[in-house]
Structure formats: C-alpha cells, structure tokens
Chains A and B, each alone.
Chain A
Amino acid sequence: MALKENSEAIFSESPGKIALRTLRKDKRALFSLAILGFIVAISLLAPIYSHFIAHTDPFNSTLDATTTIGGKVVPVLEPSTTGLGLGVTPIGPTWNLRGYFLGADGQGRDVLARLLYGGRNTLFIGLSAGIICIVLALLIGVVAGYRKGWIDAVLSRLLDVIWAFPVYLLAISLSVVLLTSGLTIGFIHIGPGSFALPIFIIGIVYIPYVARPIRAQVLALREREFVRAAVGIGAKDSTIIFREILPNIVPSILVFIPIIVALCMLTESALSFLSIGVQPPQASWGTIINDGLALLYTRPLVGIAPGLLIVLTAASLNLYGDAVRDALDPKTRARGDA
C-alpha cells in the first residue's frame, strides 16, 4: 500500500521537483553544500578581512613589516639567531585574526589574506572554465549528435584530437605558449596576466569529456519514438532540439556541472602551482602551495592550508555531484524510496 501511495506521489510531481525534494533530504548533499557555502562565503569576504581586520595588502611584498605579538613588536621575517645565524624565517601562525593568523609567506604577506583571495580566484576560474566547457561541449555534442553526417565527423575528429592529448600536457603546452605573450584574436588581445587565459585553456581541454557522452545521448535520443513523432509532424530542428532533446539531457548536464567545476578547479590549481596559471602577485590556491613549497620545512602551514581547501572543495563538489546524480536517477530514487 505504501509503495502505491509513493508511486502516486511521484507521478503527480515533475521530475525536477522530485529530484529537488530528494536532494533536500540527502544528507550528503546538505553537508557538501554547507562546506561549499562556507568556503565561498569566506572567499568572498577576502577584501573585508584584509582591509578592515588584518589591515594588510596581500599583493605587495612587505619584507620589512612588523607585527605585535603579546605586546611585543616583532619582524614578520625573523633573522636566525642560532648556530651560524643563517637564514630569515617568516613568522608562523599568530592565531590572531588581526594579522598573520596563519603566518607570513616568504614575501612577508599575510597567508590567510592570500588564501581568501586565492579562494576567490580558484573558485572563479574553476566555475567560469566549467561553464565555458559545459556550454561549448553541449553545443558541440548536440550539433554533432543531431546533425550526424559530415558535421558529426568533423566535430568528432576535433574532439578526438583534443582527447588524444593528456589533459595536463595540453593545458601546460597552451599555458606556456599563451602566458608568454598573451592571446591575440583579431582585435581582441588578452594580456599574459589575465584570468581569461587560464579560464579559456582549462575550459577547452575538458570539452571532449563532456561533449562525447552528450553526443552519444543525442544520437540515441534522435532515434526515439517521441523525436521521430516530432519529425513526422514537421517540427523544426530547433524545436526538436529545444523541446525534445535538451530536456532529456539536462539531468546529465546537471551531474556534469559539479564534477567538471571540480576538475577545472584542480587543473587551475595545478597550473598555478607550476607557475603557468594565475600569475603573481595574484594568488590562487595553487600559487600559494607553490609559495609554501619553499617554506615546507619551516612554515608547512603555508602549503598545507590551501591544499586542505582544495581537497575540501573538490570533495564537496564531487559529493554533491553524486547526490545530484542519485536524485535525478529514477532507479536509485525508487530504491531509496522503497
């Protein structure tokens, strides 16, 4: 009896509403969203922290700066006083939000302030690249799958070419070339330090990973009865695509979004770590890990903190992607309801 009532309830709602309802009940989704929300919120608050709380400029070197700890003024970069007196070590965590909460980096900059700004940049680039990737992949996948013939052949080979390169190798190659002198397309010039470059590069390299499954889905959908019926009654191609095809691939897209955004974010961090993503003095979690690499022995937190944030964000996005997939999958949902 309970099963019958559930079935009636399911049939009385749209698939979207059912998925949303399922998602709201999913603890994984709520947990991952909470973490993501927290990370996004603190990242957005970066200017407030640096200007009004820590009173620091995270983009300028301040090698002669001082700070106050326990009423005592100390240099942010402390010269060694032991042994042979070699080396200068950045100050460690003060655990005081008013300055150098997580310590300083090799340039005397507040690590927390850079971490928050870095989060903004990493998330922005990951999200932007992810959206570009999804939109272009959707366009290519739908056109290739629906039109078939030579258009499909050309687009598929193009995807094959991109796919043939290992993702990171392709991204590194593009970055090295484009970051040297920027990108000029006609009258549009993108400078070497612009975020548009990593966004463009990362967005491009993941297109085949989304476009391929979409194309396959469209190829299958265009042979289904409801599409054939639409063709039979003389519906235009655009009508068929927007009213019959797209609504049926939306669930796949929704599942792809968090996964691709997480991948793009990880790629951005990797490229920035290799100095071919976000360019200094701008920060991203990848560049901060790179900065931290030089301080791994004395100030490991500089490298560990952004690493932890990357792990948390990527894991949350993947967890949320899993929850979305389950919410949109009738079989899983039915199993869960049963």
Chain B
Amino acid sequence: MRRSFRLAIPTFLSALLVASMLAGGGAATAAGTGMAPYDPTHAGGTVTLVAAAAAGSLDPKINYTAEYWELYQASYDGLLGFKYGDGKSSFEIVPDLATALPVMSNGGKTLTFTLRSGIKFSNGAPLTVADVKASFERIFKVSSPTAGSFYNGIVGADACLKVPATCKLDKGVVVDPKKSSIVINLVAPDETITSKLAVPHAVINPASAPVKDAGTTPIPTTGPYMFKSYDPNKLLVMVRNPYFKEWSHDAQPQGYPAEIDYKFGVTPTAQVTAVENNQANWVYDPIPADRLNEIGTKYASQVHVNSLTAMWYLPMNTNLAPFNNVKARQAVNYAIDRAAMVKIFGGSQLAAPVCSFLPPSFPGHVDYCGYTKGATPDKPAKAWAAPDLALAKSLVKQSGTAGQAVGIVVSDDDVNKQMGVYLQSVLNSIGYKATVKPISGNIQFTYIQNTKNKVQISVSQWYQDYPAASDFLNVLLGCASFTPNSDSSINMAGYCNKPFDAQMQKAMGFGITNPAAGNTLWGQLDQQVMKDAPVAVAFTPKQLDFVSSGTKNYHFSLQYKMFISQLQTK
C-alpha cells in the first residue's frame, strides 16, 4: 500500500505458521511483546492527527493507503489480524473475529474458521457468518485493488473478477450459521493466505454494506472505534464504538482516546508546528526538510525513527511512449542519483539508496544493483554507487525517444514535489522534455493507477502489506494487478509479462513447501524483472513519527506503524 507498510512476517515465520495450522494447530506460532494490559486511568481525551490531505474513500475494501490502514486497525476486524505488539511481534498473525487460527486441510487448500459469538457492529447489528461471506464477495463487487492479486485464489474468484456485480462465492466461502463455521476453499495452497486475510481489504463488513465504493459514508465497524463523520476536505472523526467489548487483547485491544480527530488541509510545516505546540498529537506527512534538523535537536525525545520494509519508486508506463521502450526505462534507472533523492527525503538517517525491487532484509532480497556506474543488469554490482548519465543518454539515443515530452505526476507535498523537480532535471539532462505535474495527495495515488490519465512516470511509494516477496513483485508487477481504465490498478507500470507471471506463481507455490527455494526464486525474479525495468527503485525509507510532548504510550508495529488507539493523552 502507499505510505503504509504492511506486516512483515518473515517468510520462515509464515511457513511455520502454515505448517502449524496444517498440523491442525490453532495457536499463534511466535511469541512476542504484546500491549500492556488496558489501564482505564489513561482512558479519555482526544487524539488529534494532522495531514495535508485526506486519503480518498473511507471504504476499507477500496482504500489502499497507509493513512487509513492505520485507522482501520483500530476500527475494523477480519477473521485474522496482526498482533498488537512492538517489533517483530507485530508480524504475528492472531485470530481476530475467528476463535482461532484456521484449521488447514486438503493440502493447504481449505481453511476452516469458527466465528466468535456475541460481537456486534457499531450499528448494533450482530456479526454473523452471512456477513463474512458477503464481505468476501464484496471484495470483488467493489473491485478492491487487491481482488485480483490477493484473493484470486479463492474458489469462484475467477468468475467474480470477470463479472464483479454478480459475484457469488458459494463454493469459495462456505458458511454454516448453526455451527458459526466458515470454510474458505482455495484453488491452490497459498503460503500467504493468512496474511492476506489479516489485511483491511479482508475485514468483515455488515452484509448490508453497499456493493459499491462507500466513499465518504462510514461503514459500521466491529473494533473499538467507529467513524462518526468524514469530510475529506476538513475532518475525519472517530468515536468509541458503543458495542465494542474486548475479545482479544492481542488482536483488538480496547483503545485509550475517547475520540480520534484527523484534520486535513494542514500543510506539513503547520503540522510540525501544531505538534510542537501540543495542538496536535501526530504528524502524518513527511516532515518538511527544513524542520528535520529542528525536531532532531530540540524535540529529539518526541521523535521515533523506525525501519520499514518499503520503497520509493518511479513506476514507468510500459504501454505509453517513451517508456514502452525498455531502453528508455533502463536509461531512467541509470540516470537517477539515488543518493540525491535520499537527500531530498531527509538524509541518510532516514533513507538508504537501493535499486532492487525487494527491500533489504525482506524475504527473497538479494544485494544487487544492475543500474549503477560500472554495472549492467546482467553483471550487477552488490549495491548502488553512482548514477551513469553518459550511459543513460546513450540509451535514450538508442531508444529513439530523445526529445519526447514526459509528464511526471507527483503528490503536491513538499517532499514529493522536490522529487518531481529533481526527476525533471534528470530527464531533461538525458534528452527528454519533462514537466512536473503536482496533484493533490488526496487523488494522486489513484490518478496514477488509471490508464485513462495517460501517466507516463510518477513518484510513488510502496509499503509492505504482508511479509512476503509476492506482496512486492506479484502485487506491483503481476498481470492480475493491472486493470486498464480503473483507479484500482496497482500495477502502475502496466507491466504484464506472462512467463514472469507464471514464474511468480511457481515461487508462491514453493513458499508453502520449500520457503528457502521460494525465496531464492523470488530473488532471481527480482533481478529478472529489473532487466525490463518497469520501475526505477530509488530508496528505502524509514518511518519518522513526531508526536507531541503530551502524547504517551507510543508503540510501533512493523505491520501498521503507530498504534493510534493505544496513544494516551491523559
């Protein structure tokens, strides 16, 4: 997802989890540090979050941004969830609305859950297995961005992807109201299915939820908070869900604030000032470059820097000139000075240059860089060292695309705009006529996905959804993630390489039986796809959270970042 990072359960953990479940287990596989027991003396108060722009639709099946996934964690629930815990414990998958982790059978193709009883939605309606089935069908009916990449393995998903409006998963999601059981049938074993069931696109909504993007209309929640009102130009308000009773401290603990207000339209620099003055609790947007030194010195105790498995990258439209030419795309990869982009982001304490698709320390990652001075995709170096402008210019010349106009679409916040201006300078220097098109962060992410907008190149970010290589390679470059003329086409490069797709399927299959071989194959696929250069990877960022002095109980999840519901203001 953009500007959010997904859970990272290292693949071996994931495999352990699956193996445990195959053996009929139902317990969590990894021990970790969970949240401290709920302390009601700190309950109450309002947590105020500030952002430059809203993140679009509030519908959890549609929204694919970090900005709102952090909120969904405190409001919606799936059958499974990621554990509320610090560090690697937050990678752990725990039963949420299900009573236990699924019992897997049929060689990993069947997952059986039992739904917890006594849970109600925030509108007072009881949660039933019918809601579960409808929620899975709704993934396809509303064309969720990950419908084709995460949930296409459910039996019946193929038909749903073809005709979403009439989606029925009668064989894929079989429910029994009497036993409160849910059986999910897959067409093939999927090592990452538990992770995919734990992300917000698989949360359970009432069966009555609209079968279209709910937009600004809140859908009832099951978690400790519900959405009270949403004006994307101004304010999002979350209040306590009156029907919430904690059922699992690991999956969905009671929250501390009485209210969570998300204010929009606040410039990043004003956000920083508001937090410094205790007028807000947390800054969403990247901290402006000229405030970093200030907060790193005067407010160091309020700054939290955490590693992420994420990347800033430049998707290039492989179906549109000039980037329908592989040499043009390779030229961009050679030309960009990744160290310069790190400087724009805030310096080496906050980011590191990379050019592989899978981030460092991610399953399948291999230290290599085919696009650095003195290296080629066939003879890569270990790491990026410097740009090669001469080679980039030569490639542009060879591609016959020199002199063509290129539009760079970026979000209109300071950091993204600076990235755009830098990229424009680079593209002009290698022979293009580049223009920067800054558009509101509220729409940029969906705008650059829609082929109707004819975006040639953009600046985007990707933060893991779940800790497996498929979340980067398959999600961002798989054919199933490319939907022409749709705002939910996360394969922004429009890259669809059938043999590569088949290889990815093979790698995903390996994961459940032989994770090591799977990771090796993912590493090879990473290098293979970067020869085609559908994107230029720039750097891997760190997460900087700046909280007010009055904000306590900061906890950082590797999956969802800061736990908003656990912040204390009293």
Contact residues of A with B, CB < 8 Å? 59-61, 63-64, 77, 79-80, 82-89, 106-107, 180, 191-193, 275, 279-281, 293-299
- Could you tell me if B340 and A64 are in contact, using CB atoms closer than 8 angstroms? yes
- Could you tell me if B418 and A107 are in contact, using CB atoms closer than 8 angstroms? yes
- Could you tell me if A63 and B337 are in contact, using CB atoms closer than 8 angstroms? yes
- Closest chain-B Cβ to A194's Cβ sits at a distance in Å of 11
A-B contact count (CB 8 A): 115
- Closest chain-B Cβ to A45's Cβ sits at a distance in Å of 24
B235 close to A (CB within 8 Å): no
- Could you tell me if B269 and A84 are in contact, using CB atoms closer than 8 angstroms? no
- Closest chain-A Cβ to B423's Cβ sits at a distance in Å of 9
- Could you tell me if A61 and B293 are in contact, using CB atoms closer than 8 angstroms? no
- Contact A192 B290, CB 8 Å, known A60-B425, A85-B347: no
Partner pick for A192 among B295, B422, B435, CB 8 A cutoff: B435
CA distance A60 to B288 in the complex (A): 21
- Closest chain-B Cβ to A90's Cβ sits at a distance in Å of 9
B544 close to A (CB within 8 Å): yes
- Among A79, A83, A86, A107, max chain B CB count under 10 A is at A86
Partner pick for B343 among A60, A88, A295, CB 8 A cutoff: A88
- Could you tell me if A63 and B436 are in contact, using CB atoms closer than 8 angstroms? no
- Could you tell me if B296 and A280 are in contact, using CB atoms closer than 8 angstroms? no
**Chain B 269-299 near chain A by CB (<8 Å), digits 1 or 0:** 1000000000000000001111111111110
- Closest chain-A Cβ to B490's Cβ sits at a distance in Å of 24
B305 close to A (CB within 8 Å): yes
Looking at chain A's contact residues, the main secondary structure is loop
CA distance A107 to B419 in the complex (A): 9
Partner pick for A89 among B293, B337, B435, CB 8 A cutoff: B293
- Could you tell me if B424 and A296 are in contact, using CB atoms closer than 8 angstroms? no
Give the residues in chain A near B293, CB-CB below 8 Å: 80, 82-83, 86-87, 89, 298
- Could you tell me if B296 and A82 are in contact, using CB atoms closer than 8 angstroms? yes
Partner pick for B348 among A79, A83, A180, A295, CB 8 A cutoff: A79
Give the residues in chain A near B288, CB-CB below 8 Å: 294
- Closest chain-B Cβ to A233's Cβ sits at a distance in Å of 59
Q: List 26 A-B contacts (CB under 8 A).
A: A59-B425, A60-B425, A63-B343, A64-B339, A79-B343, A79-B347, A79-B348, A82-B296, A83-B300, A84-B297, A84-B300, A84-B349, A88-B344, A88-B347, A89-B293, A106-B344, A193-B435, A279-B435, A279-B436, A293-B414, A294-B289, A295-B290, A297-B269, A297-B290, A297-B294, A298-B294
- Could you tell me if A86 and B421 are in contact, using CB atoms closer than 8 angstroms? no
- Contact A299 B344, CB 8 Å, known A61-B421, A80-B296, A294-B418: no
CA distance A79 to B346 in the complex (A): 8
- Of all chain A residues, the one with the shortest Cβ separation from B421 is A280
Give the residues in chain A near B405, CB-CB below 8 Å: 191
B442 close to A (CB within 8 Å): no
B428 close to A (CB within 8 Å): yes
- Contact A84 B337, CB 8 Å, known A63-B343, A107-B422: no
Give the residues in chain A near B340, CB-CB below 8 Å: 61, 63-64
CA distance A82 to B435 in the complex (A): 36
7 closest A-B pairs by beta carbon, nearest first, are A87-B292, A83-B297, A86-B296, A84-B296, A63-B340, A61-B425, A86-B292
CA distance A24 to B343 in the complex (A): 54
Within 8 A of A (CB), among B331-375: 337, 339-340, 343-344, 346-350
B550 close to A (CB within 8 Å): no
- Contact A82 B297, CB 8 Å, known A64-B340, A106-B344, A281-B425: yes
- Could you tell me if A88 and B289 are in contact, using CB atoms closer than 8 angstroms? yes
Give the residues in chain A near B349, CB-CB below 8 Å: 84-86
Give the residues in chain B near A297, CB-CB below 8 Å: 269, 290-291, 294
CA distance A294 to B344 in the complex (A): 12
CA distance A191 to B406 in the complex (A): 12
B142 close to A (CB within 8 Å): no
- Contact A84 B290, CB 8 Å, known A280-B436, A281-B421, A281-B424: no
- Of all chain A residues, the one with the shortest Cβ separation from B343 is A88
- Closest chain-A Cβ to B273's Cβ sits at a distance in Å of 9
CA distance A79 to B339 in the complex (A): 12
- Closest chain-B Cβ to A43's Cβ sits at a distance in Å of 22
